[in-house]
Structure 1
Amino acid sequence: MGIDLPLIWAMIIIFGVMMYVIMDGFDLGIGILFPFIKGSSDRDVMMNTVAPVWDGNETWLILGGAGLFGAFPLAYSVVLSALYLPLMFMLFGLIFRGVAFEFRFKATPEKQHIWDKAFIGGSLVATFFQGVALGAFIDGIPVVNRQYAGGGLDWLTPFSLFCGVALIVAYALLGCTWLIMKTEGPLQKAMHDLARPLATALLVVTGIVSLWTPLAHADIAHRWFSTPNLFWFLPVPVLVLVTVWGLFKSVARNAEYAPFILTLLLVFLGYSGLGISLWPNIIPPSISIWDAASPPQSQGFILVGTLFIIPCILMYTFWSYYVFRGKVTAEDGYH
């Protein structure tokens, strides 16, 4: 029995995208939360919690894109053609946010508000269009003769726009619970106060997306609600409810680490639900990872380098977060 290279590459890309969503999610969430915090000193602390690691978080996005290009060139060409505009808007948002990171600390107090707005706007735009791209991907991409057969604005639907809003809520909760873990004093209390309404909002938008998706796609509805699949997949929504309940309880007792861990679990459960809905299609609704795969020789060749580089990325990521562990304060930085 040979090695299933498309399956291995699908797992690598799924892992890379999941790592990006988790690690850049709370990063973008901090920018989304900026309008709720007015003090310049508190905003400095918020940015400083991720300043040493934010650019490394986006390594996973590059890994996912490069892996898609090398292992599934058909998916790369079709998906990027279909989602060209939302992905470009996302990149513009990331650029504005990155520039704001570097320039805000160098600006005079009179000019700092400009970079605050760039940081907020870049974070919102990048997050919103990531969600839009995800919603359009779930809706399906028409392919004829191995080429994208849709229009330039097919991604612009009510469902994809709502997914953009839903992802803003999810990243805001990630950023909020990250700041609960990394800060103290009035800023931490403000995040504790925001966590409960954000968790409630996330539960609502997750429920809407979870209902909207099967109602709009009969094949996804059949996968979730036919037997015995219904019993196999039932733990996912049950675990979502249990996790949200645990999140409320942890916020109520002013826990510091549990809210972030539980929010990560919520994101993972949402990601797993997406995988259940679409697997094994890499171009919904009908092109599988095996249909879109590059030749085995190509996949095997790039797999050698990838299996070498992923442990390196994991090690330096772990080390950077370990070095900059602990609380961040306005007076002392990390301590």
Structure 2
Amino acid sequence: MTGAVDIATIWAFIIAFAVFVYVVMDGFDLGLGILFPLFPDKADRDVIMNSVAPVWDGNETWLVLGGGGMMAAFPLAYAVLMPALYTPMIAMLIGLIFRGVAFEFRWRTTQGGRNRWDIAFAGGSLLAALAQGIALGAILQGVHVEGRHYAGGWWDWLTPFSILTGLALAVGYALLGATWLVLKTEGALRDRAYVLSWSLLFAMLGAIGAVSIATPFLHVQYAQRWFTWPNLVLTAPVPVAVAAVAVMLLRSLAGKRDYQPFFLSLALFALSYAGLGISMWPYIVPQSITIWQAASPQNSQVFMLFGVAVLVPLILGYTAWAYWVFRGKVKHGSGYH
């Protein structure tokens, strides 16, 4: 039994890692799409696309790993959560499809067609970001489970809290996109990205505060996890660290240190993700199903670990290589087509 508990925990961390890497890596290119309408100049838009074109499709590998890993390692959780989240998941996939097609087709059409594909890119990015945030909010607020089945309605995912988390994630992705432009561009485009980063940082801090205040009111277990002794000793450093990173991010923006804001924004996401983990652990379906209850047979999880032990280093390796090859600033008139 101890071995089963250990394997289930290992798989929970593998899936959490895959989802987090997807969020931070695909988050900034979704953020670029959200910000796209704020850069109407064709040359600026080409630079924005070229800054992410060599790596964007590889980023979504982690979404497949996270979703496929949950289906294989925690089939009960997958079977319960998917019916509860069909609508936002379908919306997310539609948004990602529009973005993917727009990435390729905007280079191969007339100016009028390019404008339409730019709208598809921006709209698909915003739709995917909102859908992901709404799905997260729906999971946090809990789903109606009876026995081993989802027993809620078609629209249970749509609540004020899920809308709040959807908007919060979209703002966070936009901040990642703005700081990515600070990192990868120069001149007037970089200066515009700095201005946007200031506004988006304060918006994201407000969103983090709003979600953090609302979450303990969803379930008494969340409040107990964060505010009772001795849990408080472990949870208190998280908001303190958020404040510290926010101060460092403000200083990096004020000092125009191009290579710091993006990575500090990633740190804000990491701390927010840690807070999410603190709230949910050990449930994979909050307040209903733990990771051990949802786990597939131990032999299956051990077998899949061998595949993951090979697959994850390979993905990390080629991802790191791609970012290294395409490092540095992207200039007007040059880049990937």
Superposition TM-score, scaled by structure 2 size: 0.97
Could you tell me which residue of structure 2 aligns to residue 236 of structure 1?
238
| 1:108-129 Cα deviation digits (max 9, x unpaired) | 1122110110000000000000
Query: Identical aligned pairs, as a percentage?
Result: 56
Which secondary structure state, in structure 1, belongs to the residue aligned with residue 112 of structure 2? coil
- The CA deviation at 1:331 is 2.5
Deviates more, 1:257-266 or 1:300-309: 300-309
Could you tell me which residue of structure 1 aligns to residue 213 of structure 2?
211
Could you tell me which residue of structure 1 aligns to residue 119 of structure 2?
117
| Aligned residue type for 2:181 | L
Distance in 1, Cα, partners of 2:147 & 2:11: 24
- The CA deviation at 1:332 is 3.1
Deviates more, 1:230-239 or 1:56-65: 230-239
In the alignment of these two chains, the number of paired residues is: 334
- The CA deviation at 1:2 is 3.1
Tell me which of 128, 144, 155 is aligned to 1:153: 155
Tell me which of 273, 289, 292 is aligned to 2:291: 289
Matches within 5 A, 1:1-335: 2=3, 4-333=6-335
| Aligned residue type for 1:126 | A
Distance in 1, Cα, partners of 2:170 & 2:242: 18
| Aligned residue type for 2:36 | F
Distance in 2, Cα, partners of 1:271 & 1:76: 20
Distance in 1, Cα, partners of 2:17 & 2:72: 16
Distance in 2, Cα, partners of 1:173 & 1:37: 15
| Aligned residue type for 1:296 | Q
Any unmatched runs of 5+ in structure 2?
Answer: none
- The CA deviation at 1:286 is 2.8
| 1:59-116 Cα deviation digits (max 9, x unpaired) | 0000001110110000011110110110000000000011100111111112211011
- The CA deviation at 1:306 is 1.3
Which secondary structure state, in structure 1, belongs to the residue aligned with residue 284 of structure 2? strand
- The CA deviation at 1:279 is 0.4
- The CA deviation at 1:327 is 0.6
- The CA deviation at 1:214 is 0.4
- The CA deviation at 1:43 is 0.5
Distance in 2, Cα, partners of 1:236 & 1:131: 21
Q: CA RMSD in A?
A: 1.0
| Aligned residue type for 1:307 | A
Task: Indicate if the aligned counterparts of 2:8 and 2:295 stay in contact, CA closer than 8 A.
Answer: yes
- The CA deviation at 1:232 is 1.6
Distance in 2, Cα, partners of 1:89 & 1:194: 27
- The CA deviation at 1:333 is 2.8
| Aligned residue type for 1:191 | A
| 1:182-226 Cα deviation digits (max 9, x unpaired) | 000000000001111100000001100000000222110011000
| Aligned residue type for 2:274 | S
| 1:273-297 Cα deviation digits (max 9, x unpaired) | 0000000100111311000001111
**Would you identify which runs of 4 or more consecutive aligned residues in structure 1 move more than 2 Å?**
331-334
- The CA deviation at 1:231 is 2.1
Distance in 2, Cα, partners of 1:12 & 1:254: 36
